[in-house]
C-alpha cells in the first residue's frame, strides 16, 4: 500500500477501463477521485455502480462530462442527463436488479462462477441468460462481475491501509474492493497505525493499493 496524491493514483487508470464506484446516490462516493478522473480526461469508461446519482454529484459527474461509454447499474431515475444520453443512444446501460448486482460483484471478488437467482425470470432481465432448474425451481445464472479498478471512499485509514467506513458507505465500498485488480481509496483522515481497534477495521490494508487523503467534503 502506498499513500499518494490523487494525480498519481488516477494515472494508473487507463482509457477504456472497467471501474467499480462505491456509494449510494453520491453518498459514500469519492467526488475527489472522480474530479481527478475528469481532469485527466479518462474516457470510454465502463462504470459498475449502484446508481448514477445526480448530474453534479458522484458518478453523474463522469456522465455529464461524457467520459462513460457503458454503465452496469440498478437505477438512473435521479439523473436526467443519464436518461437523456440513454434515450439518445449516447451511452449503453445494462440494468441489473440491485440485489443481483451486489451479489454478482461479491461473486467476482470471491472467485465464484456466478449467482443463481429467481429475480428477473419472465422479464427482459432473462434475455440471453442461462436458466438452470434445481429441485423443480428455475433460476437465472448471473455471472460474476470484476473491474480493473475500484474507486472507494472511506472515513479513515491507518498507515498500513486498514480502512474504516462510515454508515452506509459500507454498502458497496468493501465489496467492490474485493472485485477489482486495483483499489484506490480516498480517506477523510489518516490515523496512526494501531489507533483503530481491530474490531473497528472494516477492510484490511493488505488488499488496498493506494490511499489518497481527501477531506470530509471533498
- State phi, psi for 159 to the nearest 5 degrees: -80, 5
CA 52 – CA 7 distance, rounded (Å): 23
pTM of the model: 0.93
Q: Is residue 135 part of a domain?
A: no
Res 18: pLDDT: 98
Which residue range forms the structural domain that includes residue 89? Answer: 2-114+147-213
CA 180 – CA 142 distance, rounded (Å): 18
Q: Is residue 200 part of a domain?
A: yes
3-state secondary structure (DSSP) of residue 148: strand
Q: Is residue 70 part of a domain?
A: yes
Res 216: pLDDT: 58
Res 124: pLDDT: 85
- State phi, psi for 39 to the nearest 5 degrees: -60, -40
Reference 19, options 146, 120, 140; nearest CA is 146
Q: Is residue 85 part of a domain?
A: yes
Per the structure, how many domains does the chain have? 1
Length reported for the chain:
218
Task: Give the containing element (helix H, strand E) for 61.
Answer: helix 59-64
What CATH number should be reported for the domain holding residue 18? 3.40.1080.10
b/e for 3-12, b at 16 or more Cβ within 10 A? ebebeebbee
b/e for 110-138, b at 16 or more Cβ within 10 A? eeeebbebebbeeeebeeeeeeeeeeeee
Res 215: pLDDT: 67
pLDDT tens, the chain, 218 aa long = 999 999 999 999 999 999 999 999 999 999 999 999 999 999 999 999 999 999 999 999 999 999 999 999 999 999 999 999 999 999 999 999 999 999 999 999 999 999 999 999 999 888 899 999 999 999 999 999 999 999 999 999 999 999 999 988 998 999 999 999 999 999 999 999 999 999 999 999 999 999 999 865 55
Q: Is residue 176 part of a domain?
A: yes
Res 125: pLDDT: 86
Task: Give the containing element (helix H, strand E) for 88.
Answer: none
Q: Is residue 52 part of a domain?
A: yes
- All three cell numbers of 43: 474516457
Q: Is residue 92 part of a domain?
A: yes
Res 93: pLDDT: 97
Amino acid at each position: 500500500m502506498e499513500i499518494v496524491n490523487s494525480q498519481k493514483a488516477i494515472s494508473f487508470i487507463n482509457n477504456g477501463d472497467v471501474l467499480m464506484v462505491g456509494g449510494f446516490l453520491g453518498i459514500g462516493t469519492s467526488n475527489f477521485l472522480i474530479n481527478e478522473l475528469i481532469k485527466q480526461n479518462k474516457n470510454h469508461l465502463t462504470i459498475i455502480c449502484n446508481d448514477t446519482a445526480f448530474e453534479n454529484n458522484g458518478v453523474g459527474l463522469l456522465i455529464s462530462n461524457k467520459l462513460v461509454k457503458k454503465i452496469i447499474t440498478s437505477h438512473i431515475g435521479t439523473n436526467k442527463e443519464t436518461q437523456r444520453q440513454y434515450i439518445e443512444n449516447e451511452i449503453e446501460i445494462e440494468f441489473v436488479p440491485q440485489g443481483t448486482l451486489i451479489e454478482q460483484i461479491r461473486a467476482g471478488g470471491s472467485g465464484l462462477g456466478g449467482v443463481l437467482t429467481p429475480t428477473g425470470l419472465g422479464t427482459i432481465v432473462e434475455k440471453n441468460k442461462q436458466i438452470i432448474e434445481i429441485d423443480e425451481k428455475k433460476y437465472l445464472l448471473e455471472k460474476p462481475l470484476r473491474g480493473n479498478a475500484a474507486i472507494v471512499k472511506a472515513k479513515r485509514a491507518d498507515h498500513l491501509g486498514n480502512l474504516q467506513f462510515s454508515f452506509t458507505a459500507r454498502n458497496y465500498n468493501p465489496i467492490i474492493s474485493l472485485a477489482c485488480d486495483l483499489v484506490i481509496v480516498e480517506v477523510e483522515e489518516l490515523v496512526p497505525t494501531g489507533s483503530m481497534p481491530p474490531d473497528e477495521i472494516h477492510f484490511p490494508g493488505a488488499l488496498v493499493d493506494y490511499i489518497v487523503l481527501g477531506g470530509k467534503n471533498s
